[in-house]
Amino acid sequence: MTVGILALQGDFREHAEALQRLGVTSRLVRLPQHLEGLERLIIPGGESTTIGKLMVTYNLLEPLQQRANEHLAIWGTCAGAILMARQIDNAYRDQPRLGIMDIRIRRNTFGRQIDSFEAHIDLPLLGAEPLKGVFIRAPGIESAGPNVEVLGRLSSDGTIVAARQQRLLVTTFHPELAGDDRLHRYFLTL
Ligand code: GLN
The catalytic residue among 14, 34, 176, 184 is: 176
> Does residue 113 register a pLDDT over 80?
no
What integer best gives the mean pLDDT of the chain? 96
The tally of domains found in the chain comes to 1
Burial class (CB within 10 angstroms; exposed 0-12, middle 13-18, buried 19+) of 112: exposed
CATH code: domain of residue 66:
3.40.50.880
> Does residue 123 register a pLDDT over 80?
yes
Sign of CA dihedral 54, 75, 88, 12: negative
CA distance 18 to 136: 18
- Tell how far the Cα of 90 is from the centroid of ligand 1, in angstroms: 12
Q: Give the domain extent around 161.
A: 2-189
- Tell how far the Cα of 171 is from the centroid of ligand 1, in angstroms: 12
Report pLDDT digits (tens) over 56-73: 999 999 999 999 999 899
Q: Report pTM.
A: 0.96
The catalytic residue among 14, 78, 149, 184 is: 78
Determine the atom of ligand 1 nearest the C-alpha atom of 80.
Answer: 8
Question: Is the beta carbon of 137 within 6 A of some atom in ligand 1?
Answer: yes
Determine the atom of ligand 1 nearest the C-alpha atom of 174.
Answer: 9
